Amino acid sequence: MSLRLLAAGESHGERLTVILDGVPAGLTVRE
């Protein structure tokens, strides 16, 4: 399985947006 992590917003303030591409459908993600 190949995953790709995209991060944005770190230079514009306190918020960070993260996109994790390649996660299989139906996979449970927990904190």
Query: What residues make up the domain containing 3?
Result: 1-31
Give me the number of domains the chain comprises. 1
Angle at CA of residue 2, ends 4 and 15, nearest 5°: 20
Q: What pTM value is reported for the model?
A: 0.51
Q: Which pLDDT tens digit goes with each residue over 1-31?
A: 799 999 998 787 788 898 989 999 998 988 7
CA distance 29 to 19: 13
Query: For residue 9, what pLDDT is reported?
Result: 86
Distance CA 7, CA 26 (A): 22
